[in-house]
Structure 1
Amino acid sequence: MTDQSNTPCPLSFKGIPYSDIINRWFSLAGGEPVEGERNDKLHRLASHLRYITDNNEETLLQIMPRYGLPEKEMKGLIHSACSAKWYSVPKLMQEACRGVSHTPECANEGTNEDVCADVSGRMQYAPTVPPELPKRLPKLIRLLVSRTPEVYRPAVAHAVFPSLATHLHQVRFKYIDNVEHEATLMNVLMAGTGAGKDCISEPINRIMADIRRRDEVNLRREREWKEEVNSKGANKDKRQRPEGLIIQEIDADMTNPAFVMRTAEAEGHFLYTKMNEIDQFDALKGSVRGRQQFQIMCLAFDPGNRYGQTRASAQAVTEKVTIRFNWNASTTIQKGKKYFARVLTDGPISRINFCTIPEREIGADMPVYGKYDAAFDEELRPYIENLNRATGLIDCPQAYKLAQEMSAENAEWAVLSQDRVYENLSFRANVIAYLKACVLYVANGEKWEKSIEDFVRWSFHYDMWCKLEFFGEAIKEAMDQDKRPLYGRHRPGRRNLLELLPDEFTHADAVRARRTAGMSEKGTSSMLRQWVFRRYVTIVTNNNYQKLKFKA
């Protein structure tokens, strides 16, 4: 396409020849430069390429197409581009890198500067797309997405976990902090109007089929009892409420007293509901100005929680219960942001697993579903039976080890990015990922597969991408009331600050890197001490440092 040789350029960015990236960039930018726009377009290309060449003028001179410009003019053009103020990676360059992704390390995450897992599994977060679903999936997930159009599969792969975990009864998993958790998993699907959010319904219906059959028996017993009680006069002896009314799937618009009653009668089983809109949760909020629905979200995730109500009336519900509540909800992105706007730092967001559906191109073909038939149900049955049979404290050493590794990676990334929002969200996101690993392990007959590890890593990074994309800026502002000015279109948790610095740098360089990332000068000294302690850098002189890791 360009006037470069057809032979791939030996210089590359994360395994992708720069020539391929440049070709893709031109296709996205409206084609190669024509007469009258040569200088402007090449200057723009250089301004974008510098973000993936360490701002190195010599490298740019080697890889840039000339289109007849003399060497001296090219040098001046490149120098001008590299001298401009440093911002975040331009969206066009991100798209160009992603469009030609084919490196082994980044095959699943999209190869660009902002979304690429390194060998340890860490991932940076792009402002445009979540990480792609791994090609190799655990057998249960592969089955559950097998009838789902490809565009919906990541959402379904997340959304099935609350209903799967609802089958576990008094099953516990010890997390790396020595706290025992039951598999509390809550999922919110945030996507645009008409995006296809109902894609999660049929897989969940199939998973919940056995619980619904058991519930129907007890719902019938409850109806018969109510009819009997209502048929008797006020002074007649009335039969007590039947025992053993375990009804796990509750109505989305259930009131708070009814929720407490169902929880008390569940005998340690999980309750479950699927809400078509997140604001259906408001039925649980108690008084007009109450916010008990958010309290329930938080308590459900926390082991050993206690919740209930005390009423004077003999007919009213008076109970103290441990909440075991898994649920799915859907919402538009705008409504979801508004719904959680007043509890950004109160805990619900970090305890919930989020997913999304990418916006399709206008005029794109309608996604076509496969058939959910008896063969699908029969293939699903043994996984559900394994979940129903499980009991007690279950040890999964591979999931435990994975949680330890991911926790260490998250801590390292938090130190490198100096992002408090990322760190805070990563703590519980790691617990959620661990519980998913344990659910898959139990469903698979307590057998571990490498595909479970790959899937759980992806699940964590996808969840974190959604949280940072939908709530990151708002959480940062809520945590940082002085609202320091941001430079460029920065979003929290995206940048490794060491990568913004040369191999040898000064304290002043570190200050500039923080400002580029939208941070204040305050905290620079603390950051450098952490880097020295973790052996990312070494001190050369008082205010001079040298990288030991992440060298250019």
Structure 2
Amino acid sequence: MILERLMFTCIGKGHGAPCLPANREDWEKLRREPWLKEMCERIERGDEQLKHRLPVWTPHCAEFKNNHRAIADAVRPLNRLMLDFDEKGHTDEICARLLEQSPLVPLLIEESVRRGTHVLVELPDGMTAEQAQQLMQEATGFEPDAAVKDVSRCIYMVPEDHTKYVSDKLFEVSEDCERKSQPTSDEGCEQKSLPTSEAAQEPHTELMFKGIPYTSIIAEWWHRNGGEPAEGERNVKLHKLAVSLRAICDNKKEVLMQVMPRFGLSDVELRSVVDSACKETPKGISKMMQGIVSALEMGISSDEIEDAEAVRAETGVKVNVKALPMGLKESLTGVPVSMHMPVLCGVLPIAAAYADQVMVEYCDGNLQHLGLMSIIRGEQASNKSVVKNAIDVWKRQFDEEDALARKREEEWKERKKGRKANEKAPDDPKVLIRMVPVTVSCSTLLKRFKNAQGHTLYSFGEELDTLRKTNGAGSWSSKYDIYRLSFDKGEWGQDYNSDAAESGVVKVAYNWTMLGTNGALRKCFKSDNIENGLSSRILVAEMPDSSFSKMPKFGRRSAGDEAMIQEAVTRLRAFSGLIDTPRLRKAIEQWVEQKRVEAAKDIDHVKDTYRKRAAVIGFRCGVVFHLLSMGARNLKSQTSNLKESKACIDFALMMAEYCLSQQIKAFGEALQNQYVDAHEECQRYGANHSVFDQLAPTFTLDDLRALKCGYCSESAMRMIISRWMRDGWISKTDRYHWSKVKVNSEK
């Protein structure tokens, strides 16, 4: 409740963006941003298109349901009123008059982007907005905007130097400040004239298209078409908007009448615009509108939809940010679309480490814990730090707890070191430390495992090459064993005669995330160790190629975003016991079987090897998604009646597909070179067609040998023939010939 009272407004990244609860620190920090000051200066110089990119805040409401800024979704409306004085250059005069004598308590006086004046006042109980406006007009000598604004109203953020007066009461939202009743009908009345202030207007009807509010679609349309109409272009722009919207309104005039913004038009005038737009021959949804809808469905900016399509073409996946649960969604705040997968792959291991008391049943019937390891690879200066920034937020709870534990351990070491010769050594406190450096020695790591109390340890390494260099041959080999065993919580240990070295056998539960260059990855996984099984247990993600590309633009997570990540961490830590995921098991089982069929047809040993654990990794990622999606009701009961959502299943399959493709891309060549000559391997991967489909309806072993270009051994080919027969794909016609009985790929 105390935290809730600190949130006095909601802040959004733009007019149509979600508005998240914010406190004084968030509000003041944003107003001090250099880029905000620069944007406002450019707008003042005439760059009107920038206005719709300004962040917004809500003076009349401190919280909206699902962060959706609408009258119907107002959760904590406030007894406050923002007044707009459109006349430019009078802010200092208005401020002086109100500070000398004001009929209402002023909370904020600021100069707007266009040099008008914003005045936020407390609205006494029983006083209407119209009455307050009349009082303020008499007190200032200037007429405020006649339109009465509703509870969902937002205004554009301005730099700190635009502030003329701010009261501490602005940031104090007591119960008395909150409205005791629903907004009156007056608060939703239509605007009588075209507004000239930068106060954002919003239609009242919250109709949806594919689950997206039309208000959000319209806001994005303004964004792509030069912003909201200025004086003199209202009817033309509204007509163009109506023409674009009718395709997603089934060309229904009554729907358009509800969703169209009015900008001062009467019903008769708006009806005329709608009638004119609907007379034109329908041409289907435009490319621009399709892009807007696609972007909003994915939860990204419409400017990024082309980047998202490019990422899908390159990697085969496209992240639906809107469908992500708490924690994962906020991890992608401010992250360019091309880097969404690396960031997700980076944070999933630490998210899984927090849920270390959870067990799940896999498709094969065995119980598993959520063991995940990831490597984010990319050339130098490829912005891998974007992953670190997300993990820094996720690991805060680990860091805070470990700091106390390490302090206790250091105090114990000092007491032990300073004791007298005949004095008994103090007892080892056996502290729980869960964040260990990637360069930790095997002996110290064993000690941490012994004191882990059943918890999973976690490491984050910024340089994979540092890890490789700081581990000698013997130590590196031991680390390989530890990493492999940690995937399924296997046993590992060591025995030494000396008391100075740690001895014992433990269950290994160890997740980690590492960043590194492609060269460092190649040095860690060479031909002599590629078959030891570690490569198939790692979730690999590749940073986008930054060669000759423009500098990417990053955003910042708000305090609200970071609070949501901490809430996600708390939620994951609260779960324990067996979590049943039958729908997820079924989906992953079907996926891994599909990949088996593909690998068998291609005689692709690499895909067949990596598909199995890629399925496990995708499954575990899906479980993390499911846990974050479960509500407080399920959290308390520890047994969920909430089945895995379609979004959860889609996410798990996406992660499995991405994991498989990235493992093959990163390690496939080295693994295949264990079977065939490197030159032949390059030729094979260049073609990569289905060998089974290329065979004639009746074929011989020589035909198969010719397609495999001689790099498949005789025994391997006979084994493939045997499996095809076992699966019912072929039948033997005579000693040397086989015939296809199943020539399609459906299985």
> TM-score w.r.t. structure 2 length?
0.52
CA contact (8 A) 1:254 1:284 kept: no
Q: Which has the larger radius of gyration?
A: 2
* Cα deviation, residue 418, structure 1: 1.0
1:348-368 CA-partner distances (Å, limit 9, x unpaired): 101111111121240x22112
CA 1:297–1:290 in structure 2 vs 1: closer, same or farther (change >3 Å)?
Answer: closer
CA contact (8 A) 1:501 1:513 kept: no
Secondary structure of the corresponding residue to residue 403 of structure 2:
helix
Q: Which of 411, 432, 435 is 1:224 aligned to?
A: 411
Match of 1:531 in 2: 724
Larger relative contact order (CA 8 Å, sep ≥ 6)? 1
Q: Which of 253, 258, 262 is 2:444 aligned to?
A: 258
Match of 2:554 in 1: 369
Give the 4+ runs in structure 1 shifted more than 6 A: 538-541
Q: Which of 367, 377, 394 is 1:190 aligned to?
A: 377
CA contact (8 A) 1:307 1:320 kept: yes
CA 1:290–1:432 in structure 2 vs 1: closer, same or farther (change >3 Å)?
Answer: closer
1:74-124 CA-partner distances (Å, limit 9, x unpaired): xxxxxxxxxxxxxxxxxxxxxxxxxxxxxx9xxx9xxxxxxxxxxxxxxxx
- Within 5 Å, give how 1:530-549 maps onto structure 2: 530-536=723-729, 542-545=737-740, 547-549=742-744
Distance 2:342 2:587 in 1: 23
* Cα deviation, residue 235, structure 1: 3.3
Q: Amino acid of the residue matched to residue 370 of structure 2? A: A
CA contact (8 A) 1:350 1:429 kept: yes
Secondary structure of the corresponding residue to residue 499 of structure 2:
coil
Q: Which of 130, 146, 151 is 2:315 aligned to?
A: 130
CA 1:240–1:289 in structure 2 vs 1: closer, same or farther (change >3 Å)?
Answer: closer
Match of 2:615 in 1: 430
Query: Once structures 1 and 2 are overlaid, which stretch shifts more, 230-239 or 206-215?
Result: 230-239
- Within 5 Å, give how 1:293-312 maps onto structure 2: 293-303=479-489, 305-312=490-497
Q: Amino acid of the residue matched to residue 338 of structure 2? A: V
Q: Which of 161, 166, 174 is 2:348 aligned to?
A: 161
Match of 2:707 in 1: 514
Match of 2:539 in 1: 353
* Cα deviation, residue 156, structure 1: 0.8
CA contact (8 A) 1:495 1:517 kept: no
Q: Which of 319, 324, 347 is 2:509 aligned to?
A: 324
Match of 2:397 in 1: 210
Match of 2:268 in 1: none
The answer to whether the aligner puts 1:474 opposite 2:670 as a matched pair is yes
Gaps of 5+ in 2: 1-293, 299-311, 631-639
Query: Once structures 1 and 2 are overlaid, which stretch shifts more, 219-228 or 348-357?
Result: 219-228
- Within 5 Å, give how 1:348-427 maps onto structure 2: 348-362=534-548, 364-427=549-612
CA contact (8 A) 2:439 2:471 kept: no
* Cα deviation, residue 277, structure 1: 1.8
Secondary structure of the corresponding residue to residue 541 of structure 2:
strand
* Cα deviation, residue 297, structure 1: 0.9
Q: Amino acid of the residue matched to residue 683 of structure 2? A: R
CA contact (8 A) 1:540 1:546 kept: no
CA 1:550–1:505 in structure 2 vs 1: closer, same or farther (change >3 Å)?
Answer: farther
Query: Once structures 1 and 2 are overlaid, which stretch shifts more, 315-324 or 417-426?
Result: 315-324
Match of 2:660 in 1: 464
* Cα deviation, residue 407, structure 1: 2.1
Q: Amino acid of the residue matched to residue 392 of structure 2? A: N
Distance 1:383 1:146 in 2: 15
Q: Amino acid of the residue matched to residue 549 of structure 1? A: N
CA 1:526–1:272 in structure 2 vs 1: closer, same or farther (change >3 Å)?
Answer: closer
CA contact (8 A) 1:386 1:444 kept: no
> TM-score w.r.t. structure 1 length?
0.70
Query: Once structures 1 and 2 are overlaid, which stretch shifts more, 519-528 or 185-194?
Result: 519-528
CA contact (8 A) 1:163 1:207 kept: yes
* Cα deviation, residue 218, structure 1: 1.2
CA contact (8 A) 2:491 2:505 kept: yes
Distance 1:195 1:163 in 2: 22
1:155-196 CA-partner distances (Å, limit 9, x unpaired): 111111111011123321121222211111000112112111
Q: Amino acid of the residue matched to residue 658 of structure 2? A: Y
1:41-91 CA-partner distances (Å, limit 9, x unpaired): xxxxxxxxxxxxxxxxxxxxxxxxxxxxxxxxxxxxxxxxxxxxxxxxxxx
* Cα deviation, residue 240, structure 1: 1.0
- Within 5 Å, give how 1:482-501 maps onto structure 2: 483=677, 486=680, 489-491=683-685, 494-501=688-695
* Cα deviation, residue 431, structure 1: 1.1
* Cα deviation, residue 206, structure 1: 1.3
CA contact (8 A) 1:276 1:330 kept: yes
Q: Amino acid of the residue matched to residue 527 of structure 1? A: I
Distance 2:493 2:720 in 1: 45
Distance 1:252 1:488 in 2: 34
RMSD: 3.1
CA contact (8 A) 1:168 1:269 kept: no
CA 1:513–1:190 in structure 2 vs 1: closer, same or farther (change >3 Å)?
Answer: farther
Secondary structure of the corresponding residue to residue 326 of structure 1:
strand
CA contact (8 A) 2:618 2:656 kept: yes
